[in-house]
A and B are shown apart, each in its own frame.
Chain A
Amino acid sequence: TQLLEQSPQFLSIQEGENLTVYCNSSSVFSSLQWYRQEPGEGPVLLVTVVTGGEVKKLKRLTFQFGDARKDSSLHITAAQPGDTGLYLCAGVRGNMLTFGGGTRLMVKP
């Protein structure tokens, strides 16, 4: 059982659709991060959220940290084929970063 559960695991949508990816835990984190990973490469940090209830926007991506700092969501508006990739959430507790299992997103033109 993973400390951070991501859903859905797989998502295949058409270009222009909206989507939301969820990252849930029963544990509290001091902060939560979202990464995107392309095949054959390491993950790249998209955003860090620190405060409960915090919302951050990165162009068409909106990230929210739950009020209790146990969960987070990533919403993508008008998805594009360039958004295709593996999205990973990661929670910080002490000196350790714990990753969720990832959501594999495919956006078809």
Chain B
Amino acid sequence: NAGVTQTPKFQVLKTGQSMTLQCAQDMNHEYMSWYRQDPGMGLRLIHYSVGAGITDQGEVPNGYNVSRSTTEDFPLRLLSAAPSQTSVYFCASSLNRYEQYFGPGTRLTVT
């Protein structure tokens, strides 16, 4: 099992560009989520999904879109990148909300 995989590992965007961060898991987990991690802020929940076709907003959803067409994949879309979205992004999956398995992260810089 690969667990939770994220691509790319690093990305630099210009303000206004759009992009999709990819997340995939091979553990057949129903629950998947996206977090961003900024210095001193811990992790903040962006969006989450409790199963294919179901998504909901977390603490900081503005500027991000998600969809969940399959159990395995949960991409995160930045519609128009802003410098405030410079951060490290983590995807996580779990059977329930409790034991979350995190991917290795995507380090995004917006200039």
Contacts and interface: CB of A to CB of B under 8 A. Distances in A.
Nearest to A43: B102
Contact of B97 (A2, A95, A99): A95
B42 A95 contact: no
Contacts of B31: 95
B92 interface: yes
B12 interface: no
B44 A48 contact: no
B50 interface: yes
Contacts of A44: 102
B33 A42 contact: no
Contacts of A6: 42
Interface in B32-70: 33, 35, 40-45, 48, 50, 56, 58-59
B103 A42 contact: yes
Given A42-B90, A42-B103, A98 B40 contact: no
Contacts of A4: 42
Contacts of B105: 40-42
A73 interface: no
Interface of B: 4, 31, 33, 35, 40-45, 48, 50, 56, 58-59, 90, 92, 97-105
